[in-house]
Every structure is written in C-alpha cells, then in structure tokens.
Structure 1
Amino acid sequence: MVEDSVIHAGDTVLLRLPTGDIKSCKLEAKSTVNLGKFGSFLADALVDQPYGLTYEVNNKTVNVIPPLAIEELEDTDATNELINDGQFVQPLTASEIETLKHSGVHASEIIKKQIDMHANYSLKTEYSKDKYKKRKAAKYSKSFTTVQPTLFNVCEYWFVKDQMRILGLRVDTLSQMMNLGNARPGGRYIVVDDASGMLVCAVLERLGGNGRLITICDVDSPPAYPVMTQMNFPKELTTDVLSSLNWATADEAYTPIVLSADPARGSYGSEKHKTRLSKRKTASDALFSLREELFSGEFDGLFVASVYDPLSILQKLFPYLGGSACVVVYNPHLQVVSDLQATLRLDPQYLAPSISESWLRRYQVLPGRTHPVMSTSGGGGYLLHAIKMYALSMISLLYLLDRHHRRYNDPSAEPVVVHRRPKVVRQTVVPSLEQSEDLATRACTGADVCHIDVGIDD
C-alpha cells in the first residue's frame, strides 16, 4: 500500500511531545488542538503539511523549527567525578523560572540562563551537557513533531499507552504473525481480533485493497475498532475488502430471518417506510451472501488474537480453510498456546504446530554512547503456527491399500516404490579380545556392550 505522507483535514495524527510521549488527535477543520502545558494551536495549520516536521507553539500559532545541524563533539578531559549536585549549584529558583515563563521569555533563553548560572556545568562531560540540555528542553520548550500513523507507530503508541487494549501485542510479534500467516495482496483471510483491531489493520495493510478479509466478532453490529480510526485507511481499502460476522451468524445451524422489501399490507406508509424496508432487505441479502462465502471455504489463512479459548475457535473455523492454509494464534500466556499445541499434535490435519516467542530490545545508538536501553518490555506474547493438511478419507485410504495389496501379491505387476522391509531384530553382543580381527568387533573394541542389527527374512 502506498502511504500518503501529507496531512489531510479529518486525519488522525500522532504528535510527539518534548517529553517523548505520543498524543493522538483528530484534525477537524477549524478546530483547536490542546497539548496541555505545551500550548494549543489551530488544526488547519497542519493541513497539507508533510509528516516529520517539528513545530514550535506560540500564541496558538505554529512555526516550523529547522532541523539541527550535526556537530562534532570536542575531546575533553572533564569527568563527572568531582561534581557534587545540590541546590546550591543552581541559584535560579523555581519561582524565578515561572516568572520568566509568564513574562514571555523563550525557552531557549531560560535554558541558557540556567546553564550560565550552573556552578558545576563546566565540570560535566560533553555527553552530560547534551543530556542536561535535552532534559531542560523537554521541560520548558513548547514544541511537537508530527508522526505518520503507520502500523509500526500506531502499534507502538497503543503498546505504551494501554497495552492490555491490544492484548500486549508488540510490534515485532505482529510482524511475525503477518509473515507466518503469509498475508499478501489477493489473499482471503479470516481474522478473530479482540486486540482493538490491531490484527485487522495489519492484514488490511498487507492486502492493499486487493483481497478478502472476514472478521468474526461477538457484537451484532460491525465492530468499531479503535485502531482503524488512527490508520486513516481510504474507503477503497476497506469497503470491498472487509466484512464481519458475529459468532451466531457464523454458525451453520443458525437460520437468519428472510426479509422482504415489499410491505406487509400491500402499500408503503411513506417514503421513509419504503427506504427502511429496502435497507433491511439489502442488509439481509448481504448477510446471506457473506455466510455463503464463509461456508464455501478455501480461505488462505486464519489469524487469532482473542480472549476466548483458541481451541474452540479453531474447531469452529478450521473447516473453512483451504489446503496449505496457515493458522496463526497469538496469546499473551504460554500455558494457553502450549495446551493448544499438545492438542493439535494429535490431529493429522495440523502440520508441524510450533510455538515461538519474540524478544525485542532497543539500543541507544549515539557516537560513543551505544548501549541497550535499560528499561524494556518483559515479553511480547507467544505465537502458535500450523499449516492445514487435507486428511485422507476412509474410501481413498482403502483404495490405496487395495491397490498396493494387489500389486504386491501379483508377480506380473510392475515394480512399485513401496516395498516390505526385512524385520530387524536387535541383539546384544558382548565382544571378546579374540574377535578383534572381525570388522564389526573392531568397531566395538573398548566398549563393554554393543548393539548389532541383524536382518531376518520372513
């Protein structure tokens, strides 16, 4: 899917604040975006602007901040060992700083004033000075950076904000699900998503408007996925691709009500009555068509991220998958997927059910300061992956056995690849030193006991 890198009116935009936090806001026309202590501005100022720019807020207006130039750090002998931090090193009090802020002094001037009055600033290393400036800028500057709501950024936003809303689905685990499930344009997939639509958005992005996606949910009306509102998908990516059924209508034993567009009394009461009956008939026909599409099967994959028992979900939807279709189940708990794997191993229709766990660790990559980030997430959940195989029916199995039996007992039949192997009897042999010249015995010299396989013809 080709991503639009320009902000449009009505889009949902992610804003990175100086503190590093991400805020999501919808840019309605002639509306005001409030960023709390970082100020407020008119939403129209961001329309038709590219993503990735940094803006400074000043009296409800925004100005683009040019990117900083790369500066080479100078070698210095300064260390932090002689620094004795305390209130005495910074004579500028909090009340004086608040007075400067209310008087309209720019954040850079406040930071410069703090640096000039800092008693131990010259004793800091260049790295410590840089960290000090960034910490003060995050505290006093009124700026933000627009972040494009890609799947990666949206998943990161929800994982930090409220990861239980997406069942703890981390971005690296989500990418593994798409790869294991072989999500691609033109594919037909079934998705069970209780992760606020994160899984649905990932499959839709892979389809790119070409394919079919049916979601199974537990609500009567089409589910309102919060994540989809942030992805800014155009209608052509969802209208003809995405459809949803609830668990009741996805049951073959369920009998939907057949509605008619004709009035029961022979005439329409009003034009609104006619429109209402027509809409009900259209919805009823769409439900019948969608059920037929699901029951016809031959889907290319099944993705599950649900709070319900995954085994019951697979038993319900597995018959609708085609041959070699991929099954990917996500769960934040290992016990759930391990129990599922033990059950699927007993079913010959599931090929190689395996469990995987991803590990993600961020690194700070700066000149002379490359190291792993000390705080990170403990885990990204667990995945179970399997491939559907068509099991041989009893009639096909009997036919193959009969064909093999006739070929084996008929001497004039042509040779077949399958043949009987001689029986193998495992015998225990205790070698002696006198048998050292024998080849088999020489291989066993130095051992107390060795095993030799002896073939015996029938």
Structure 2
Amino acid sequence: MHSLVQPNSWVALRLPSGNLRVLQVAPNTTISLGKYGSFPTNLIIQRPYHLTYELQDRQPNENFNRLRIVPAAELYADILAEGEKTPVSEDATPAPDVEGADNGPSEAVEYSLVDPDSGAVVATTDRAEIDASARQTLTLDEIEALKKDGTDAGRALIAKLMLSHTAIDQKTEYSLAKYKLLKTRKYIRRFSILPLDVPMLDYWTLEDKDASRIMEMREEMIGLLGCWANVHFGGTDPCEAPPTLKTEQEGEDTKMEEPELVQTSAPGRWLVVDDTGGLLVAAMAERMGILYASEEDKLNREQRGAKHSNSRQGGSTAGQQPQIKDEEGSTQVPARQEDGSEVKPESEGATQSKSPQTSHKRPAEHVVPYAHANTITHIHPNAQPNLSFLRYYDFDITNPTHTPYHPLAKHLMTLSWLQLLEPELDSTYNSPPPRATPEEIYSWKTNRRSTYHRKRKRWVKTRHIIDTTRKGEFSGLVVASSMDPISIMRHAVPLLAGGAPIAIYSQSIEALTELADCYSLGRRAAWATNMPEGLADKTLEEQEKWTGNDDFPLNPSLVLGASIQTSRVRKWQVLPGRTHPLMSGKGGSEGYIFTAWRVKPAEGKVEARGKLRSRKRKVDDQNAAS
C-alpha cells in the first residue's frame, strides 16, 4: 500500500457526518461532495493519506472549491484547551460519606463527551443537567439561506447557530460541547482521505453497502482465516525457466506436445474457495505481498500504453514520416536514401521467397504466464469467477491481459469445479488447437494468425492450471462459501500436502458442527477398528479419494485437530465510572471458523516392538541395582 494518493487509485473519503464514500481518483477530473461542494482530483494526488481537508469558498471566476489542509492543532483545539484546565463547578454535589470509612477528600462525579468516530474526549464536566427549555431562534429558511451562502467552510453558520440559541448561557459545558459537535458534524465542510485497504473495504461493505455480498464476514474473521491457514509470503519461484509448450518439426509435420509440468513441491501454494466477491482472495493476496502493484510495474504499463497508442495512429501528418504497418501489426517508419527518396519495400514475390524462420519473428514456443510459488488457486462453481472486489486494487479478473503488470496476473489461477473433477468435459482443456506448420501459419492473414496463437495460449494456460491443481501438494485450504463444507472437503483435502492447515468460514454453526463430527475421535476409532468393506485392500491414494457413505461421509483419518471457534470485537465506552461495552451495534450473523490440519495416514499397521517387562520384574531390577 502506497503512502501517497496515486493516480487512478481507489480511496475512501470520510465525510463530516461519519459516512464513507469510495471513489477512484482519476486525474484531471472533479469530485463532487454534494452539498459540501466539489474540487479537482489533482489537488489530492500525490498527497499523503489521513489528512483532513477543508473546502474553501469558491472564487468569483472559479466553479470549484479549493482545499486547505487543516492542521492538527486546529482539529484538536477544544480538546487541548480542555486538557490544560478542567473546570470545576462550585455547586458540585459532594459524594456522601460512608460511616466508618476513610472518606478522604470528596471528589465530584465527572462526565465526558466522546466523539464516536475518533474516540477522543471532546469535553468533561461535573454537571449532568441539561436545560430542556433550550431552543433555536433561527428558522429553517434562515438556516438554508446561510447554507447557500457557504462562507468560511461552514464555521460561520455554526457560530450563528450558537449565538442564536436562547439558552446558550444556561447550558453546561458538557451539553454545550455536545451541541457544538452535532452542528459541526452536520454543517462543516471537511473530509479525510483514507487508503482503501482490505479492512477499510470490509468495513465500507458491511456498513454502507450489501453485507450479504461478503457473507457478513467481519474484519476479525478475515484475520483469523489468514492466521489459522498460515497465509504468508511463500517465497519466489524456484524455477529459473517456466514450462513451455514446444513444437518438434518432423519434415513438414509439426507435433504438438503438452505443457511440461515442473516436478517440485514449491512452497506457498494456497487453495481457496471464495464466495465473497473476491474479498477473501484480496485479504490473502495482501498477506502474501501480491495485492498491490509496484511503481516500476505501473511505469512499464504507462510506457506500453503510450507505445500502443502511437502504433494505432496511422498515415502521415505534417512534420511526420509516413508509417507502414507490417503483417505483425507493428508500425514501421520507411527508410530513406541519401537523396531523401524512400526505399521501396520488396515486391510480394520477393517477400514470399524469404524463409518463414527469418521473416516470421513470432516465437515458436508459448511460455506459461504463471508462477510456481506464492500462488493462489481459486475454485469457483460458475463459468467465470466472481472476484469483482479486485478491481479496487487495479486488477480486472475478466480480462487479465489488460493488467499484465499486476502481481495477481502471475500468481492468481482460477478454475471451475467441473474442470477440477471432470476435466475431460471441459471444451478448452479437451480440445487442443489444430496442428499447423510454420509455413502455414506464416501464409495466414494477421487476424487468423492472432486467433490461432490466442487459442493456443489459452489452451496452454488452461492445461497448466488444471494439471497443477489436480497434482495437489497445496500449502493450505481457505474456504468462505455457502456450499456444503462436507462436499468441499471431500474433493479438496486430497489436494493438500501433509501438515497443511485448513480454515473454513461459515455464517452459521450447524454446517461446521456436522463437518467437525465427521472428524471426531469416535469416527476415527470406528474407522480404525471397522473400516468400510472393500476399502482395506485399496492403496492410501485410493482411500484418500474415497467418496464416503452414510456412516463415514468423509475419511476421518485424513484430518486432525478439528475445532470450531468464533470471535467478535466489541466497542467499549471507557469513561470515569462508566466503562461498559456499547449495547447497540450492527446485527447480522455471528460467523464461525472451522480449523484443522491435513495428515498423511501411516501405511500398514502400527505395531509396538520390544520386550514387554512386567512391573514386578522392573521393581526387582531397580532393587538389585540399588
């Protein structure tokens, strides 16, 4: 996460009312805050986060508001002034004396006003009375007229509201500070820029958007999933050269081979089932260090975009040389002789006489664009994965080729349950592109050649994802899905390596309770003494892929340490004599997490070897030795 606001990045604006507004900071545009005003986005680009801005009054010849950074001394002026000297009321009621106790000096009860957003104490007083006859003399029409004037960023309106109060002198310091705080939050034209990290995105979706879209998963649940699944940076790619799809020429025939899979147990490969729109994937990618693109990658993207835009500008203009596009689609500037005349290109017949190897510069091998370590493999039930939340981090899952600079382009792989369980039914996996010799490819037009190479790359990527996933040896399993967890574990557990952690989130506890019962101590004991018929003669690999029956829905010998837990962070009011948790809060599901570890059963029976010595003989040996 960058410390400065970057162009085209997503940020969260906290308004004076306390609400959040998420928007993209596009250069040379205007951001409108409704009744507060509008300002150009260039005023906040390359500025630090967590600053508080104030919309100043518009200039006569401008149609936008300029911004002023509010210093911290101005933001907390009332609090600092209150901390220097705490007023004590003369008519404060002393605490009653207790008979037979050492009362010491009497202390008055102190009341404090706390801002619910910042948690800072705004004012303190020892009087709890609030005058009920207090009222405002300004009418609604007069207040609306003052709001339209929009002078002094709303501070003038707040001052007039306080001066027009008939009982302002009768208010206690506590009630006066409360009245000022309410009016400030309503009329002041200030806002703060906050980074849109995963906790902020989760809070915004829970509070202001549709909480059911992320299965009402709170921030503490996301943290527990990452901790119990041991999600961390899994290391760099151990392979110097990634697997490629090679072609062997045998005369005029070209034989297409399948992608070569690297036979290595690379660390840092997590399997995830995410039905939260990509929020869980984003949280895992943040812990693995692959969620945010670096400045160097973004610079390379801008340079590639500039080259692409220049290549699309055809024809000759004033002061520019005429451009000619070759069959590959690249733009070339024709060479010139010493007299200034252009060098004419070779005739069509001469071009055809050249060998394809010298003219056709497209490589004869396709590199698999995926890493082999520190990766996330996402399994989804749909035709396309639903990872829409990743767009807030500058990654488009629907078209990853538009963001090749992003780390997720190489470290995030997606496949459906159909491709995992029955890959022969997938049209892309089971339908390789037709064979074609280099001479035939060179003779095609540009569009047909591009289509051929695009289908070939897609086939290579699909086979790589499916084959590496079915090979297994994943470092962990993380699930946040509305699917039955038993059905997920039946097919996902055999893909995990020994000792891999498992973390499953569910909105209700019933589904996780049934899952934990499948791996209970009683089930494992019954499995060891009375294994299902016909299963004892099978190998361990076949037992791991067993589909289960009524008595044993899952193989209980594959998982140990199954448990269920929950956690909820509650806000507390911490004031002198009044410390208690807040009684009001957002409802919804509590949320539970199932945790366990994948184990490899020992092959054959485990027997204890050695001489069995009775207790009496052991005591006799000890007496003889003494």
Q: 2:376: which partner in 1?
A: 213
Match of 1:448 in 2: none
SS at match of 1:385: strand
Partner of 1:71: 80
Partner of 1:392: 602
1:109 equivalent in alignment to 2:279: no
Identity of aligned pairs, percent? 28
Q: For the residues of structure 2 that align with 1:254 and 1:372, how far apart are their CA atoms?
A: 57
Mapping of 1:131-142 within 5 angstroms? 131-142=178-189
- Which shifted more, 254-263 or 131-140? 254-263
Query: Partners in 1 of 2:231 and 2:467 — Cα distance?
Result: 23
Match of 1:260 among 433, 440, 454: 433
Q: Who is 1:158 aligned against? A: 205
Query: In 2, are the aligned partners of 1:214 and 1:243 still within 8 Å (CA)?
Result: yes
Whether 1:182 aligns to 2:391 is no
> Once the 2 structures are TM-superposed, how far is the Cα of residue 231 of structure 1 from its aligned partner?
3.8
Tell whether 2:395 aligns with 1:225: no
Give 1:40 shift: 1.9
Structure 2 CA distance, aligned partners of 1:130 and 1:298? 61
Distance 1:75 1:57, change over 3 A: same
The one-letter amino acid paired with 1:166 is: I
Q: In 1, distance between residues paired with 2:486 and 2:172?
A: 58
Task: Give distance in 2, aligned partners of 1:181 and 1:391.
Answer: 21
CA displacement 1:311-333 (0-9 Å, x = unmatched): 11111111100111111110111
Q: Does 1:246 align with 2:416?
A: yes
Q: Which one-letter code corresponds to 2:482 in the other structure? A: V
Matched position secondary structure for 2:156: helix
TM-aligned CA distance change 1:168 to 1:91, over 3 Å: same
2:484 aligned to 305, 309, 315, which one? 309
Aligned to 2:20: 22
Kept after mapping to 1: 8 A contact 2:275/2:386: no
What amino acid maps onto 1:292 in structure 2? Answer: D
CA root-mean-square deviation:
2.7
- Go from structure 1 to structure 2 and tell me whether the alpha carbon gap of 1:371 and 1:38 turns closer, same or farther (over 3 Å shift): farther
Structure 1 residue 361: Cα displacement = 0.5
Report the residue type matching 2:495 in the other structure. Y
2:569 partner SS: coil
Q: Confirm or deny: 8 A CA contact 1:151 1:231 kept in the other structure.
A: no
**SS of corresponding position for 2:516:** helix
Summarize the Cα distance change of 1:8–1:253 in structure 2 as closer, same or farther, 3 Å threshold.
closer
- Contact 2:213/2:276, CA 8 A, preserved across alignment: yes
SS at match of 1:239: helix
CA distance 1:156–1:238, change in 2 (3 Å): same
Deviation at 1:364, TM superposition (A): 4.4
Following superposition, the deviation at residue 133 of structure 1 comes to 1.8
| One-letter amino acid of the structure 2 residue matched with residue 242 of structure 1 | L
Corresponding residue to 2:562 among 353, 367, 371:
353
Seen in structure 2, the aligned counterparts of structure 1 residues 270 and 224 have a Cα distance that, compared at 3 Å, is farther
**Residue 389 of structure 1: CA displacement?**
1.2
Shift of 1:56: 1.7
Aligned partners of 2:279 and 2:389 also within 8 Å: yes
Paired residue type of 2:80 = E
Q: Shift of the alpha carbon at 1:386? A: 0.8
Q: Which residue of 1 aligns with 2:172?
A: 125
Pairwise CA distance, 1:197: 1.0
**CA distance in 2: counterparts of 1:261 and 1:10, whole angstroms:** 42
Tell me, what secondary structure is at the counterpart of 2:223?
Answer: helix
Listed one character per residue, the Cα deviations across residues 386-418 of structure 1 (whole Å, up to 9, x for unaligned) are 11111233xx22xx45xx5xx5xxxxxxx35x7
Would the alpha carbon gap of residues 368 and 288 (structure 1) be closer, same or farther in structure 2, given more than 3 Å must change? same
The Cα shift of 1:63 comes to 2.2
The Cα of 1:143 is off from its aligned counterpart by: 1.8
Unaligned stretches of 5+ in structure 1? 408-414, 423-458
The offset of 1:341, in angstroms, is 1.3
| 2:194 paired with 1:147 | yes
Give distance in 2, aligned partners of 1:27 and 1:261: 46
Does structure 1 retain, via aligned residues, the 8 Å contact 2:130–2:172? no
2:144 partner amino acid:
E
TM-fit CA distance, 1:224: 4.8
What one-letter code is carried by the residue in structure 2 that aligns with 1:91?
T
Q: Deviations over 1:325-367 (max 9, x none)?
A: 1111101111111122112323122112111011211134578
Partners of 1:23 and 1:419 in 2: CA distance: 75
**Are the equivalent residues in 2 in contact too, given 1:79–1:124 (CA < 8 A)?**
no
Structure 2: how far apart are the matches of 1:173 and 1:56? 36
Relative to the length of structure 2, the TM-score reads 0.60
Q: Secondary structure at the match of 1:290?
A: helix
Do the aligned partners of residues 383 and 80 (structure 1) sit closer, same or farther apart at CA in structure 2, a change above 3 Å counting? same
User: Which residue does the alignment assign to 2:581?
Assistant: 372
3-state DSSP of counterpart to 1:248 = helix
Whichever residue aligns with residue 220 of structure 1, its letter is A
Give 1:157 shift: 1.3
Aligned residues: 401
Q: Does 1:168 align with 2:216?
A: yes
Question: 2:129·2:172 contact (CA, 8 Å) conserved in 1?
Answer: no
Residues of 2 paired with 1:368 and 1:36: CA distance? 41
Structure 2 counterpart of 1:127, one-letter code: Y
Match 2:512 to one of 328, 337, 352:
337
**Counterpart of 2:49?**
51
Amino acid of the structure 2 residue aligned with 1:377: K
